Amino acid sequence: MLELIDSHCHLQMENFDRDREEVIRRALASGVSEIIVSGFDSISNFKALELNSKRNLHVTLGLSPNMRRNENLEFIKSQIIENAKRIVAVGEIGLDRVKSRLPFNKQKGIFKEFLELAREINKPVVIHAREAELEAIEIARRYDVECMLHCFNGSLKALKAAQDSGCVISISTMIVFSEKQKRIAREANVEDLVIETDSPFLSPRRGRNEPAYVRYALEEISKIKEIEEEELASVLTANSRKFYRLECPDTLG
């Protein structure tokens, strides 16, 4: 069976409260050996940490630029610092010109604070960038931290800048229905790619997305790049394992 990693999802969200254990079992049955559960505000960070006791569910903590206005930046930084040994990355953090209610300069200031924190605790960062990919890449490169652009949907110019800066590019299950994502996958170096579901969002089929569906992204990239699925899965999984500094595969449970 192919080994896959869902490099970014939100399994802690209430969308999974009814059947979370079954979702995990389906992921295992489909070959997903590791799931990265990403926090995006204080509550989702806390809920992600509650899942961290399960083997092969790894956690990132952060603050999305689409946060609620009443989020306490210092509290979230303390969540990260206090759990530095438990988390595999800082994120998601970043910049969003479309959905964020914060002024862009304010977003940049917060982004820089988290990049500095990631550097201090020696963790990679997971970046959310929407219509702000070039700015996010330019800022992040100043901090000398490993970066993953989650659910990357930027221009080819931004893709080149990301690859030139050593960023990991995460392709989501959105590739099933997005011509832009297909173009990104076609142009990207496979050595720089990982795959994700961003579940419960961006489902490649009707209904809720879930980690087992990460295989749909693999299948699309395999066709686009004309690489056998088994070979491609090996490369993508190794890329994700390297970025998140994960040890050898184990069993979900």
Extended beta strands in 21-116, E state: 32-38, 57-61, 87-96
Give the H or E element holding residue 83: none
Question: Is residue 252, in this structure, part of any structural domain at all?
Answer: no
Q: Quick check: is 38 in a domain?
A: yes
Note whether 44 and 13 are within 8 A (CB).
Answer: yes
Interacting residues of 128 by C-beta distance below 8 A, sequence separation 6+: 40, 64, 65, 66, 91, 92, 93, 94, 95, 96, 150, 151
Both structure tokens of 91: 């994120």
- Residue 178 domain-assigned (yes or no): yes
Is 208 within the bounds of a domain? yes
At 251 the pLDDT is 44
Give the integer Cα–Cα distance in Å for 100 and 65: 6
Q: How far is CA 65 from CA 46, 217, 237, in A?
A: 18, 26, 28
- Amino acid type, 183: R
Q: Provide the pLDDT confidence category of residue 52 given band limits of 50, 70 and 90.
A: confident
The DSSP annotation for 115-152 comes to: HHHHHHHT--EEEEEES-HHHHHHHHGGGT--EEETT-
Of 54-68, 120-134, 209-223, where does mean pLDDT reach its minimum? 54-68
As for how many domains the chain has, the answer is 1
Determine the structural domain holding residue 16 and report its residue range: 4-244
Confidence of residue 70 (pLDDT cuts 50, 70, 90): confident
Residue 160 lies in a domain: yes
Instruction: Report the CATH number that the domain containing residue 200 is assigned in CATH.
Output: 3.20.20.140
Q: What percent of the chain has pLDDT over 90?
A: 93
Q: Is residue 37 part of a domain?
A: yes
Mean pLDDT score of the chain: 96
Q: pLDDT tens digits, residue range 201-252?
A: 999 999 999 999 999 999 999 999 999 999 999 999 999 999 999 987 554 4
Residue 253 has pLDDT above 90, yes or no: no
Q: Is residue 69 part of a domain?
A: yes
Residue 27 in domain: yes
pLDDT at position 98, please? 96
Provide the pLDDT for residue 249. Answer: 58
More confident residue, 253 or 97: 97
Tokens of 11: 């399994």
Q: pTM for this one?
A: 0.96
Structure token digits, residue 191: 């050595």
Beta pairing, strands 32-38 & 57-61: parallel
Task: Compute CA 138 distance to the chain's CA centroid, rounded to the nearest angstrom.
Answer: 19
